[in-house]
Structure 1
Amino acid sequence: MTDPRAPRTAEDAVAGRVRALLERDGWTQRRFAAAVGLEETKLSKSLAGRRRFAADELVRIADVTGETVARLLHGRDGARARTAVPTGAAAAAAEPDPGREPGGTHGTRGRILDAAWELIADHGYHRVRTADVARAAGTSPAAIHYHFPTRSELLDSALRHNVRLAFDRQVAELDTIADPHERLLRLIDLQLPDGALLRREWSIWIQVWAESAIDPARRELYWDAYDRWYRSIAMTIADGAEAGVFVSGRTGALADQLTALVDGLGIQVLAMTPRAGTDRMRALLHDFIDRAVLAAPARTERTENG
């Protein structure tokens, strides 16, 4: 016999998980709506299963509650999603943030991490002082040293924060996109250094690349974090090849080429290289996908139809 309390749709299941978080942390709907920047009527409809939470809303809910988007959508972090699941050191980085406290308020560690992440991204790892982070986080230098004993640990934590931001956003955005071509184009859009958040993520990545080149101790987390992004691209290309949308037998080579192209173009944009920009970056990446990734019939049809 079917349990009448069981969720009938994916929207019901997500709504039930969010309702449980509100109950767990003592939120009222009004306070929670304000905290995640959502109209109270829309929140009410979503909690009742009559409206799907938008991707950006799920990301904000995960941030406020300290959960992950994967848990909100599927009930666990290891669920099969349309983006690769982090492994190794990056898996711990994508776990719920221990710096968040019940009720959606930031704990001291969470405030320090948010402040440090922004300062490092905007001003550079070697130019940020402990006093700067303490001032931005509204705490003391002693508290910084308590949670992050060394500067190296602070940068590692900033990278972990980057991993979680990217993972949550990609899971939320790609969850409902079944078409591999559309999903690959969306993955590219999610990686463009466009807007303050993405430019900060890119800034952190570039700094970690530079530090990893001279500090072997930092490489494992970087490798694992980058591997998740690479596998997301590779699994999308493999899905497209299986569906006959992308060329077959070249998944690894195409993933290598596409990720390298994204990296190189992204660095040019961040460095404000003449002629570089997010629009040009998108156009060049789409051109590569059209010429090298799409199956020949799809390319021919696109050419004939303009």
Structure 2
Amino acid sequence: MTSSAAARGHEVRQRLLTAAVELIPERGWTAVSTRILAERAGVTPSVVHYHFPSLSALLNEAVVGLMRRALAELDALLDTARTPVDAVDAILASVDQYTGADPTSLLTVEAYLAATRDERLREQIGDVVEVFQQRFGRWLGERGVPAPDETAAVLVAAVDGLLLHRGLGTGPDAGPVVTVLRRLVSESTAKEEHGCE
């Protein structure tokens, strides 16, 4: 009986998190209320506060969970890439699905804006990005890319910036971006191999 209640509780939590991920891009972070969220999830508003200490805690968990999953997918790409250039190609190919107007892009923009006002959310998003950057930096270092941690930070920031600019309708075509970012990892590797500064 207890495991059945736990399973139902888990299922309700997941419905609430899913509803948050749907509503944030539709309405905007600040327009998601407990009532609207509960209605979307098919529960009463009191259930929201039973499962989460606050509405902001629920929204934060939903967004950070989505970001973790997205970066885990990028992390998995590193396991299949043979070279730094392959990794750049794979990462940029994986973000082609994000137009800037799709729900995930809008959710990310909303989360970044909310993080400017919510220190806990800012820390959580920062931790997710930092974990991926560190893993990417180690991966680049193992393949001879000089200043691998800094290079990983620049590559991650460039991809992030590309996605944010797409939302403004000003993002460059992927072709030139791929060329520039490939050059970043291939020239630095070539310089190291030839002992150049």
Q: Same-fold call, TM > 0.5? A: yes
Residue 170 to residue 120, structure 1, CA distance change in 2 (3 Å): same
Instruction: Give the Cα–Cα distance (whole angstroms) in 2 for the partners of residues 143 and 108 of structure 1.
Output: 9
User: What's the counterpart of residue 138 of structure 1?
Assistant: 42
Q: Summarize deviations over 1:281-301 as a string: whole Å, max 9, x none.
A: x223312223322137979xx
Q: Residue 137 of structure 2 contacts residue 149 of structure 2 at CA under 8 Å; is this kept in 1?
A: yes
Equivalences for residues 251-270 of structure 1 within 5 A: 251-270=148-167
SS at match of 1:107: helix
C-alpha deviations, 1:163-186, integer Å up to 9, x for none?
A: 332144235544333344223321
Query: Normalised by the size of structure 1, how large is the TM-score?
Result: 0.52
Q: Is the Cα contact below 8 Å between 2:16 and 2:48 reproduced in 1?
A: yes
Distance 2:11 2:176 in 1: 43
Whole-angstrom distance in 1 between the partners of 2:72 and 2:147: 28
Q: Is the 8 A contact 1:184 1:236 kept in 2?
A: no
Matched-pair contact (CA < 8 Å) for 2:21–2:62: yes
Q: Which amino acid aligns with 1:137?
A: A
Within the alignment, does 1:285 sit opposite 2:188 as a pair?
A: no
Work out the CA distance in 2 between the residues paired with 1:231 and 1:239.
12
CA change 1:297–1:171 in 2 (3 A) is: closer
Question: Residues 121 and 201 of structure 1 are in contact (CA less than 8 Å); yes or no, is this contact kept in structure 2?
Answer: yes
Once residues 199 and 253 of structure 1 are traced to their aligned partners in structure 2, the CA distance between those partners, rounded to angstroms, is 30
Partner amino acid for 2:159? Answer: V
Identify the residue that residue 147 of structure 2 maps to in structure 1.
250
After TM superposition, give the deviation of residue 130 of structure 1 in Å. Answer: 2.0
Q: CA RMSD in A?
A: 3.1
Change (3 A) 1:175 1:238: same
- Hey, what's the Cα distance between the residues in 2 that align with 1:254 and 1:173? 17
* In 1: Cα distance, 2:71 partner to 2:156 partner: 16
SS of structure 2 residue aligned to 1:214:
coil
Q: 2:168 — aligned with what?
A: 271
Give the secondary-structure state (helix, strand or coil) at the position aligned to 2:116. Answer: helix
Of structures 1 and 2, the larger Rg is shown by 1
Residue in 1 that maps onto 2:73: 169
Q: Tell me if 1:212 matches 2:104.
A: no
Structure 2 residue ranges without an equivalent (≥5):
1-5, 192-197
Q: Which structure: greater helix fraction? A: 2
Aligned length: 185
Q: Decide which of 83, 86, 95 is 1:191's aligned counterpart.
A: 95
Identity of aligned residues (%): 25
Task: State the shift of 1:113 in Å.
Answer: 0.6
Measure the CA separation in 1 of the matches of 2:83 and 2:115. Answer: 36
Residue 139 to residue 170, structure 1, CA distance change in 2 (3 Å): same
C-alpha contact (below 8 Å) 2:138/2:149 kept by paired residues: no
**Do structure 1's residue 182 and structure 2's residue 86 form an aligned pair?**
yes
**Is residue 117 of structure 1 aligned with residue 14 of structure 2?**
no
Structure 1 stretches lacking a partner, 5+ long? 1-99, 242-247, 300-306
- Structure number with greater CO (CA < 8 Å, separation at least 6) is 2
Distance 2:111 2:95 in 1: 17
What corresponds to 1:150 in structure 2? 54
